[in-house]
Structure 1
Amino acid sequence: MTENKQPKKIKVIIADDHALLREGLVKILSIEPNITVVGEAEDGNQAIELTRSKDVDIVLMDINMPNLNGIEATKIIKSEKPHVGVIALTIHDQEDYLFEMIRSGVSGYVLKDVSPDELIKTIRDVAAGQSFIPPSLITKVFQEFNRMTAQNEQPHRRYGLTGRELDVLTEIARGLSNKAIAKKLYISEKTVKNHLTNIFQKLGVSDRTQAALLAIKKNIVDI
């Protein structure tokens, strides 16, 4: 008599700094018999440590987290355990990170308002070696790719700035406050602050004044 083998369980780590969101994801995934949550992380550093210490297949990775963001955490995880699939979790005003997350090695990219069924399908697809980007973002991928190709020789590309980071840096150089930048670019103030953290790191500066001076001096922005 042939023994029926049970499908291998997909082991998942949830990395997000919002406890309520993690709790909701755990409840959704616990319903699935072939998916099990093996760990929760509040920031990128914890996600890396859990991936090192656990047998894991998938990391659901929030992009903006304290201490170490999802982009940098993904790069480290993929360099150490390339077989682990990383699925980026994002809200709408973080979509400008899409191309940077793809470059860091994510296999999936989903918005936080995704339906439970779509999320579960994405986890299964990525665990099976496939990739997933929402159809609504495919055009954005090509647009960003074309823009990066066209602007590859421009000064800001030497610093690895994304298109949205360049927008924020331009407004910094023009003297706008975080609140004014958020209003002008239709993003939250928290997102502006996250962009500033990344901009300072990439430019090697410690405050917005230094960033503005460097941007003008190196012709990174056009004001």
Structure 2
Amino acid sequence: MKQQQKIKVALADDHVLLRNGLASVVDGFGEYVVLFQADNGKHFQQQIRAYGEPDIVLMDINMPEMDGYQTAQWLKEHYPLVMVIALSMYDSENAIIKMFKAGAKGYILKDSEPAELKRSLDSVRQKGFYYSELVTGRLIHTINKLGEANAPKKELNSLNDREIEFLRYACTEMTYKEIADKMFLSPRTIDGYRDALFEKLELKTRVGLVMYAIKNGIVTV
């Protein structure tokens, strides 16, 4: 495969040894090439102006000066065609939700095997998303259904005002208890809303609720 045909990948991570190791792995995949590396979001902005637009960015969440959330949001506004895969040491539900809202197309853990990294790159390139084991196969199927023209309208019409209000709060970093306080309801009632939506929308996780809300325009990203 010729150099110009390779998929261009940028790396943003403040841990130099990890980043260099990641670069070696990515370059070793053959069809991918590392375009540039950056220490943080501000450095990333400089690098993209110097080296041009990558196809995919492997983005660490926790970086000094300008973190992964801010950098992904900046990319979405200035380079909307660049696809971001978030990198994290933790499978935090709030971190996943926040990165999805910032525009990330995938989320993998830093201790993932090279084979999973390859799957994430391939999936984002071919399908436009990668959710790994953090989101179930059932959710991926539902997300695909939501891309069909008629599915969202039918499902959205089945939700009442309070369920939609709950969905909006679920897309924030509030805990379920904090959502209960905000809606002047008991935690048990909020659990009931959540479980009812899981069943109604055929989802299993809060991340799934967020993806549904984003796809249907209940929240904007």
Q: Is the 8 A contact 1:9 1:34 kept in 2?
A: yes
Q: Is the 8 A contact 1:51 1:77 kept in 2?
A: no
1:102 partner letter: F
The TM-score normalised by the length of structure 2 is 0.60
What does residue 42 of structure 1 align with? 39
What does residue 52 of structure 1 align with? 49
Is 1:25 matched with 2:22?
yes
What does residue 88 of structure 1 align with? 86
Distance 2:48 2:93 in 1: 25
Percent identical among aligned pairs is 33
Distance 1:151 1:118 in 2: 31
What does residue 215 of structure 1 align with? none
Q: CA deviation at 1:149?
A: 4.8
Structure 1 residues 60 and 148, CA, compared in 2 at 3 Å: closer, same or farther? farther
Which string of whole-angstrom CA distances, capped at 9 and with x for unpartnered residues, describes residues 62-104 of structure 1? 0010001100111111111111110000112544211111011
Per the alignment, in what secondary structure is the counterpart of residue 51 of structure 1?
helix
Distance 2:126 2:47 in 1: 21
Is 1:116 matched with 2:114?
yes
Per the alignment, in what secondary structure is the counterpart of residue 107 of structure 2?
strand
Q: What stretches of structure 1 of length at least 5 have no aligned partner? A: 168-223
Q: CA deviation at 1:24?
A: 1.1
The TM-score normalised by the length of structure 1 is 0.60
Per the alignment, in what secondary structure is the counterpart of residue 114 of structure 1?
coil
Distance 2:3 2:24 in 1: 22
Alignment of 1:60-209 (within 5 A): 60-92=58-90, 94-138=92-136, 149-150=165-166, 152=168, 162-163=173-174
Which string of whole-angstrom CA distances, capped at 9 and with x for unpartnered residues, describes residues 129-150 of structure 1? 42011223449x99xxxx9952
Per the alignment, in what secondary structure is the counterpart of residue 117 of structure 1?
helix
Which string of whole-angstrom CA distances, capped at 9 and with x for unpartnered residues, describes residues 182-207 of structure 1? xxxxxxxxxxxxxxxxxxxxxxxxxx
Q: Is the 8 A contact 1:15 1:40 kept in 2?
A: yes
Distance 1:136 1:102 in 2: 13
Q: CA deviation at 1:124?
A: 2.0
Q: What stretches of structure 2 of length at least 5 have no aligned partner? A: 141-162, 179-221
1:162 partner letter: E
Distance 2:127 2:36 in 1: 21
Structure 1 residues 76 and 106, CA, compared in 2 at 3 Å: closer, same or farther? same
